[in-house]
Amino acid sequence: MAKAKINLFIFLITFVVLTITSILWKHILWNTLFYIPGTPHDATSINIRIEMCNKSISMKSIIPIKSSSHFAVSAFIDHRINKAIRVISIIKRNSTQPLYCLYCNNDKVCKFTKAEIDIHSDHFGFPFGASDVLCRGDNTQYATHIALTANAADEVSDINNLDFLPIKNRVSKESFKYNFTICISNLFGDYNNVLQFVQTMEMYKLLGVQRVVIYNTSSGSDLNKLLQHYEREGILEIVPWPIDQFLNPSAGWDITIHPGDLHYYGQLVTLNECIYRQMYQSKYVLLNDIDEIIMPYKYANLPLLMEDLRQKHKSANVFLIENHIFPKTQFEDSGRFVLPEWKNIPGINIMEHIYREPDRKNIYNPTKMIVNPRNMMQTSVHSSLKHTGDVYRVPLDVCRIVHVRTPLQGSLTKEQLFVDTRVWEFQQELIPNINKALQLSGLLI
Ligand X SMILES: *[C@@H]1O[C@H](CO)[C@@H](O)[C@H](O)[C@H]1NC(C)=O
Catalog residues that contact ligand X under the rule CB under 6 A.
51, 54, 94-95, 127, 178-179, 210, 216, 218-219, 224, 227-228, 238
Shortest Cβ 307–ligand X spacing (Å): 7
**Closer residue to ligand X, CB minimum distance, 101 or 262:** 262
**Closer residue to ligand X, CB minimum distance, 238 or 444:** 238
Can you give the C-alpha Rg of the chain in angstroms?
Answer: 26
**Closer residue to ligand X, CB minimum distance, 200 or 384:** 200
Please list, in sequence order, all residues whose beta carbon lies within 8 angstroms of the beta carbon of residue 207, skipping any fewer than 6 positions away.
180, 293, 295, 296, 301, 302
Shortest Cβ 127–ligand X spacing (Å): 4
CA atoms within 13 A on the CB side of 336: 7
Shortest Cβ 183–ligand X spacing (Å): 17
**Closer residue to ligand X, CB minimum distance, 155 or 332:** 155
**Closer residue to ligand X, CB minimum distance, 135 or 227:** 227
* Residue among 424, 295, 321, 429 nearest 381 (CA): 321
Shortest Cβ 413–ligand X spacing (Å): 40
d(CA 41, CA 261): 30
Shortest Cβ 274–ligand X spacing (Å): 16
Shortest Cβ 171–ligand X spacing (Å): 19
Widest CA span of the chain, in angstroms? 107
**Closer residue to ligand X, CB minimum distance, 166 or 208:** 208
